[in-house]
Amino acid sequence: MSALPEDLHTLGDYERHAATRLPSAIWGHIQEGSGFHGAPDNDRLALDRIKLLPRRLTDLRGGSTAIELFGQHHATPILLAPVAYQRLAHPEGELASVRAATAMGLSMVLSTLSSVTLEEVAQAAQDAARQLAQPEVPHWFQLYAQPDRDHTLALIRRAEEAGYRAIAFTVDAAVKRAGFPLPPGVEAANLRGFPTQQQVTNHGAILFGTPLTENAPRWEDVAWLRKQTSLPLLIKGLAAPEDARMAAQMGADAVVISHHGGRVLPGMPSALELIAPIRKAVGPDLPLLVDGGLRSGTDIAKALALGAQAVLIGRPQMHALAVGGFTGVAHMLHILRAELELAMAQLGCASVSQLGPQHLFRAP
Ligand code: FNR
């Protein structure tokens, strides 16, 4: 902790410090899609509109933030969202993040576009758990479909082999605007040996007919993927209730409601606003995870009260990496957990499952 600046009390503090430490091109890349307040504007507006209604005199004894997902234990309903190329923010990149997540007992969803191989990240997680003498944490692998299914399958098999405990298939980012030239030393380590592929389209360029749209994943890929692995399968990047229902029908174990941090299509609703209609479409049982703009314990409490089972945190891990590497990410996660515990206690909830619409205030 001594290496960290003293005035780090919130995720906003991490963002402020990170802005002064990262080269402007990298900072611009990380923040792309976020608005004035460091989160996509729609998310901040939606979050601020929601008011919490505390319940008093409830029994908080034995309280816990722990949840179970797919039979896996999570110390909190908070996961590290897949964020590509973490060596942009710190030389240890994903190794620092996974050690921090493991130390805090919480899962990282490792990006296909990790700047460290998935095997090295899994090993770092196992070593960290052993050194800390704590149980192993279920980390997950985020999958981007490759143009050649054999390559996609190879990634799945490697993830299974390395001990990842779920696959989050991201379906909203196959078609993206201009990319960011990676500096020397930062690469898509998991894709070494794969043919190079067009990853983004330039602003204003013709898109249809290019490999981006020709290779963009389709529903048949979800059906195929479901048959390839017995790991829990999450579909990340859904927004339309009908798509969520379709994913469930095709055997997905959960949906991540997400607009990719505002990076793929301007003008989408906040992920929070989509929880209720998606819940209505998929019924009570399918786990719903959500991300986009969540920056505090009360933000997370709002997402859970709206009906999400867990949340993912994206950019703040890059901010925390830039400020303090492993220590920064662990501290950032500690802040979130402590804030969530305070919010839950204030709302009168001893467990995450007690959070619900009764904790949301709607003006009469
Ligand atoms: C992302 N995100 C992302 N998602 C994914 O499925 N695979 C990926 O490789 C990446 N890479 C990535 C890089 C950067 C720099 C950012 C900011 C985001 C999206 C990410 O998982 C998540 O959906 C959003 O970041 C959540 O919003 P917040 O918490 O950043 O506001």
Distance of alpha carbon 26 from alpha carbon 163, whole angstroms: 31
359 catalytic per annotation: no
Q: List b or e across 93-132, with b for residues whose CB sees 16 or more CB atoms inside 10 angstroms.
A: bbbbbbbbbbbbbbbbbbbbbbbbbbebbbbbbbebbeee
* pLDDT of 199 strictly over 70: no
Confidence of residue 29 (pLDDT cuts 50, 70, 90): very high
Q: Which atom of ligand 1 is nearest to the CA of 295?
A: 29
Q: Which range is least confidently modeled, 28-37, 140-149, 188-197?
A: 28-37
Q: Which amino acid is at 74?
A: H
Among the listed residues 316, 345, 355, 346, the one whose alpha carbon sits nearest the alpha carbon of residue 333:
316
Confidence of residue 206 (pLDDT cuts 50, 70, 90): confident
Q: Which amino acid is at 101?
A: A
Q: Which atom of ligand 1 is nearest to the CA of 142?
A: 6
Q: Which range is least confidently modeled, 6-20, 24-38, 152-166, 304-318?
A: 24-38
Distance of alpha carbon 328 from alpha carbon 342, whole angstroms: 21
Tokens 């515990």 belong to 341
Q: Is 295 in the pocket of ligand 1 (CB under 6 A)?
A: no
Mean pLDDT throughout 321-342?
98
Confidence of residue 175 (pLDDT cuts 50, 70, 90): confident
Q: How far is the CA of 314 from the centre of ligand 1 (A)?
A: 5
Which is higher by pLDDT, 267 or 340? 340
Confidence of residue 100 (pLDDT cuts 50, 70, 90): very high
Q: How far is the CA of 263 from the centre of ligand 1 (A)?
A: 8
* pLDDT of 197 strictly over 90: no
* pLDDT of 174 strictly over 60: yes
CB-CB contact of 155 with 143 (8 Å): yes
Tell me phi and psi for residue 361, to 5 degrees. Answer: -100, 125
Dump the DSSP string for 100-127. Answer: HHHHTT--BEE-TT-SS-HHHHHHHHHH
* pLDDT of 176 strictly over 80: no
- Residue ranges per structural domain of the chain: 11-53+62-352
% of the chain with per-residue pLDDT over 70: 96
For residue 227, what pLDDT is reported? 98
* pLDDT of 172 strictly over 60: yes
Q: Is 152 in the pocket of ligand 1 (CB under 6 A)?
A: no
Distance of alpha carbon 127 from alpha carbon 320, whole angstroms: 22
* pLDDT of 282 strictly over 90: yes
CB-CB contact of 314 with 261 (8 Å): yes
Q: How far is the CA of 65 from the centre of ligand 1 (A)?
A: 24
Where do the H-state alpha helices sit in 229-288? 241-249, 271-282
For residue 39, what pLDDT is reported? 65
3-class state of residue 261 by DSSP: helix
Looking at the domain that runs over 11-53+62-352, which CATH code has it been given? 3.20.20.70
Which is higher by pLDDT, 262 or 3? 262
Distance of alpha carbon 157 from alpha carbon 154, whole angstroms: 5
* pLDDT of 1 strictly over 90: no
Catalytic residue, from 90, 139, 259, 260: name it.
260
For residue 309, what pLDDT is reported? 98
Q: How far is the CA of 58 from the centre of ligand 1 (A)?
A: 37
Residues in the chain: 364
Q: Which amino acid is at 315?
A: R
Residue of 30, 31, 83 with the most ligand 1 atoms within 8 Å of its CB, for mutation: 83
Q: Which atom of ligand 1 is nearest to the CA of 258?
A: 23
pLDDT tens digits for range 288-323: 999 999 999 999 999 999 999 999 999 999 999 999
3-class state of residue 134 by DSSP: coil
Average pLDDT, the chain: 94
Q: How far is the CA of 350 from the centre of ligand 1 (A)?
A: 30
Residue of 187, 236, 263 with the most ligand 1 atoms within 8 Å of its CB, for mutation: 263
For residue 37, what pLDDT is reported? 59
Tell me phi and psi for residue 323, to 5 degrees. Answer: -80, -40
